Amino acid sequence: MSKSILLITFFAFALSPAWAQTITGSITGTVTDPAGGVVPNATVTARNVNTNITTENTTNAAGVYNLLVLPVGPSTVPGTATGFKTAGLAPFPLSVNQTARVDVVMQVGTITESVEVSAAAPAMQTESAQTGDVISSNQAITLPLNGRNFVSLTLLVPGSITPYPNAFNNPSRSFGGGRPYVNGNREQTNNFLLDGVDINEPIDNLVAYNPNVDALAEMRVLTANGSAEFGNATGATVIMATKSGTNEFHGNVFEFLRNDKLDSNDFFNNRSGNGKRALRQNIFGGTLGGPIRKDRLFFFVDYQGTIERDSGTYLAPSCRPLCARAISRSFPPAPSRTRPLASRLPKTSFPPAGS
């Protein structure tokens, strides 16, 4: 009995909105008639285009509806009410931690009739004063990332800089790479969340896990005015959501190669006459997602591996033997001008013992 209660309590917490609010979106708005009057008791349904998952809500006396804890991705918001035609809106992108405002205008008619809006205006976020930007999956995949380090993408957001750009080229999957300086804050003041889970290393606030870039649905970088749920950081809050399976099978396979045969030599190696450092780096993997039960249950898996082989740091000698012999011929040893220490001490005479 106690195990059953513990299991139910665990799933209740895991499925509660408080645990999911950082990786989901919300839609709010007002339903009105053609004259601008509010329409109470209208049914508004949010539908995710990729999975057909629906969430319903009814407008209150002021004609306002709120749809919370919605999966991110292309969504549509049809509305129905007695005495009005069914209003359908074109799909629009719903992002992580976004509260999109979508107002619905109902036309007089029967529910069996419908009004389809084929081109909807972009959903505006007027319900929050937070600033930042969203990095889409397409941007993350198509932009060149040295080492496939997702933290490099944070430098695309206004107010985000780094004095150490090479630190973002580390292909390590954990505890490696640089972090951005956002709005003048130190790199230790950022907060990284993956699917609502804190992935910060507690000592120096390093990024404890570097996810596969191809597995990210999107990434939102909050730079200021975040809500109270995003504490623990005065810099940026980086919220990442991984992809989900859909009603169609999707996947990819990738391989990224770095080889010293394709690289130019370092400036300082050229200056000292040294060769290139040997390097063989392979980053490979893939993703796969699809339905287990259509419109109900989905799966998504990903893998990324890294193999790196190099010759290590090349230490050039400070002076080669030939150079040393040339220096010895050019500068013969100078004659010694020092006197023995005894010759510089004052002469002192002592009386015989016993006198």
Closest CA to 137 of 250, 224, 235, 48: 250
Residue 175 has a pLDDT of: 76
**CATH number for the domain harbouring residue 177:** 2.170.130.10
More confident residue, 277 or 5: 277
Instruction: Say if residue 10 is in the same domain as residue 110.
Output: yes
Residue 290: the pLDDT is 96
Q: Does the structure show a pLDDT above 50 at 17?
A: no
Model confidence, pTM? 0.75
**Is residue 212 within 8 Å of residue 225, measured between CB atoms?**
no
Question: To 5 degrees, how large is the angle CA 149–CA 151–CA 155?
Answer: 125
For residues 92 and 22, membership in a common domain is answered with: yes
> 60, 87, 117 — which closes off a domain?
117
Q: Are 153 and 182 within one domain? A: yes
Mean pLDDT for 57-70 is 94
Confidence of residue 21 (pLDDT cuts 50, 70, 90): very low
pLDDT digit string (tens) for 160-191? 999 988 888 888 877 767 899 999 999 999 99
Cα distance between residue 133 and residue 303, in whole Å: 27
193 in a domain, yes or no?
Answer: yes
Asked if residue 295 and residue 238 are part of one domain, the reply reads no
Residues 165 and 186 in one domain: yes
| In the predicted structure, residue 233 carries a pLDDT above the cut 90 | no
Same domain, 282 and 229: no
* pLDDT, tens only, 273-306: 888 888 899 999 999 999 999 999 999 999 999 9
Assess if residue 113 is contained within a domain. yes
Mean pLDDT of 21-45: 90
163 domain residue, yes or no: yes
Q: How far is CA 118 from CA 67, 87, 91, 125, 164, in A?
A: 22, 11, 9, 21, 47
Tell me whether residue 273 is in a domain. yes
Is residue 325's pLDDT more than 80?
A: no
- Tell whether 28 and 78 lie within a shared domain: yes
Q: Is residue 331 situated within a structural domain?
A: no
pLDDT of residue 268: 87
Question: Do 106 and 152 belong to one domain?
Answer: no
- Domain range for residue 286? 250-310
Report the number of distinct structural domains present in the chain.
3
Domain boundary among the residues 214, 242, 270 is at 242
Q: Specify whether 229 is located in the same domain as 254.
A: no
pLDDT of residue 185: 92
If asked whether residues 39 and 141 sit together in one domain, one would say no
Last residue of a domain, one of 117, 143, 163: 117
pLDDT of residue 19: 43
Condensed to tens digits (0 to 9), the pLDDT of residues 114-144 reads: 776 666 656 667 777 888 899 999 999 999 8
% of the chain surpassing 70 pLDDT: 77
Domain identity same for 151 and 231: yes
Q: What is the mean pLDDT of residues 334-342?
A: 54
Whether residues 33 and 73 share a domain: the answer is: yes
Q: By percentage, how much of the chain surpasses pLDDT 90?
A: 46
333 within a domain of the structure (yes/no): no
- pLDDT, tens digit, 9 for 90 and up, residues 241-278: 999 999 999 999 999 998 988 888 888 888 888 888 88
Residue 106 lies in a domain: yes
In a domain, 158, yes or no: yes
Q: What is the CATH number of the domain that holds 11?
A: 2.60.40.1120
Q: Tell me, what's the pLDDT at 230?
A: 82
